[in-house]
């Protein structure tokens, strides 16, 4: 679930169709300019939230695979994707709701103002 992993594949697959519906790609597969703006997000100088190599497990099932992204300070960020792709799981990790359920674990780091909120010593409530 990385914005930077978006492809410009012109094959009729769900990712390409979704990107076209979101206005990111034209029917021809060309960029609309929005993708260039999304790519520029990778160059965030002052990120409020930095997610590095985040994976999440429901028992042995790996639900999120090595997510790396940055969320800028004082900007709106939207998580968009099909049902079951991990949007809600990612949001639930931010406040460590998974701590309430045995067998659910996260690895990697989520830095909020330079503090890793995945650390059990950090109170996210």
Answer yes or no: do 99 and 51 share one domain.
Answer: yes
| Cross-strand pairs, 56 | 64, 106
Cα 82 to Cα 2, 18, 86, 87, 105: the distances in Å are 14, 9, 9, 9, 23
In this predicted model, what pLDDT tens digit does every residue of 63-83 receive, in sequence order?
999 999 999 888 888 899 899
Helix, coil or strand: residue 51: strand
Answer yes or no: do 50 and 94 share one domain.
Answer: yes
Answer yes or no: do 62 and 94 share one domain.
Answer: yes
Identify the domain containing residue 21 by its residue range.
11-43
Sign of the four-CA dihedral 81, 74, 64, 84: negative
Higher-scoring residue by pLDDT: 103, 19: 103
Predicted TM-score (pTM) of the model is 0.63
Q: Number of folded domains in the chain? A: 2
| Average pLDDT of span 30-44 | 56
Higher-scoring residue by pLDDT: 29, 93: 93
Mean pLDDT of the chain: 78
Q: Is 65 contained in some domain?
A: yes
């Amino acid at each position: 679930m990385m914005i930077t992993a978006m492809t410009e594949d012109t094959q009729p697959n769900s990712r390409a169709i979704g990107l076209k519906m979101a206005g990111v790609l034209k029917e021809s597969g060309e960029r609309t300019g929005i993708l260039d703006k999304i790519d520029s997000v990778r160059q965030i100088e002052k990120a409020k939230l930095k997610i590095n190599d985040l994976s999440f497990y429901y028992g042995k099932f790996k639900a999120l695979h090595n997510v790396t992204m940055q969320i800028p300070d004082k900007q709106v960020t939207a998580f968009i994707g099909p049902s079951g792709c991990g949007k809600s799981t990612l949001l639930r990790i931010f406040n460590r709701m998974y701590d309430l359920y045995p067998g659910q674990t996260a690895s990697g780091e989520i830095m909020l103002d330079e503090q890793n909120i995945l650390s059990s010593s950090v109170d996210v409530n």
